[in-house]
Amino acid sequence: MSQSLPERHSLHTERLHLEILHKDHADEMFSVLRNPIIYRYMDGRPDTPEALRQQYEKQSSNWDGRPISWHTWIMREKRANAAIGYIQATLNHAEKNAELAWVLSPLWTGKRYSSEAARRVMQELHHGGLVSTFTCTIDKRNAPSRHLAQSLGFAISNSLPVESQTWTLISKSIRE
C-alpha cells in the first residue's frame, strides 16, 4: 500500500525558491524551455504555451495514493525573480525510490543552481522518510549532468546499451 504524502509545499535554498509546479507556470517556463540547447540530450520540446499548460495541469494533478507520483518544482532565482528551470522527482512509493531529473536554462548554467535545487529536494524526500534511494538517467554525452550527479554522490549503476546511463545514490550517503 502506498504511503500518504505530506502536503506539498514550496522549498527554499539560499538563492532559489522551488515552487510547486502549477499550470500557471506555463507561459514563463515556455520562454525558458524554448531554447534549443536544452534538447541536445533530451526530447520533449513544448510546441506552444498552451500545450505546456496542459502538460503542467496533468503533472500537477493530485498523485497521492498512487504507487508512482510526480513531484516537480520550478526553480526561481531569488534576486532576479526569474524561472530558470525545473527539478522533478518521480517517486515509486513501494520501492522508496525517486528518479530525479533537472532542466536548467543555458543562460543560468555554471552557477550550481541545479546542484542547489537537487540537494534541497533530496533532503526533503529523504528526511521526510519517502525515499531511501535516488536514481537519475543521464545521456552519456551530457558531461555537465554527469558531473552534477557525481558531485551529489551518485555513481553509475547501469550503463544501458543506448546513449544513457543510470546513476544511483543510496540515501545514507547523501552529501549535505
5 within some domain: no
pLDDT at 8 over 50: yes
Domain holding 19, by residue range, is 11-173
Query: Which SS3 state, helix, strand or coil, does residue 42 take?
Result: coil
Which CATH number characterizes residue 59's domain? 3.40.630.30
Provide the H-helix boundaries in 7-112: 26-33, 49-59
163 within some domain: yes
90 within some domain: yes
pLDDT at residue 1, as a whole number: 38
170: which residues sit within 8 A by CB, 6+ positions away?
Answer: 132, 133
44 within some domain: yes
Give the residue among 89, 153, 157 at the shortest CA–CA distance from 125. Answer: 89
1 within some domain: no
pLDDT tens column, 113-160: 999 999 999 999 998 788 999 999 998 889 999 999 999 999 888 766
pLDDT tens column, 73-128: 999 999 999 999 999 999 998 999 999 999 999 999 999 999 999 999 999 999 87
Using the CB atoms, write b or e for 151-169: b if 16+ within 10 Å. ebbbeeeeeeeeebbebbb
pLDDT at 162 over 80: no
4 within some domain: no
Counting the structural domains of the chain, the total is 1
6 within some domain: no
3 within some domain: no
pLDDT at residue 169, as a whole number: 75
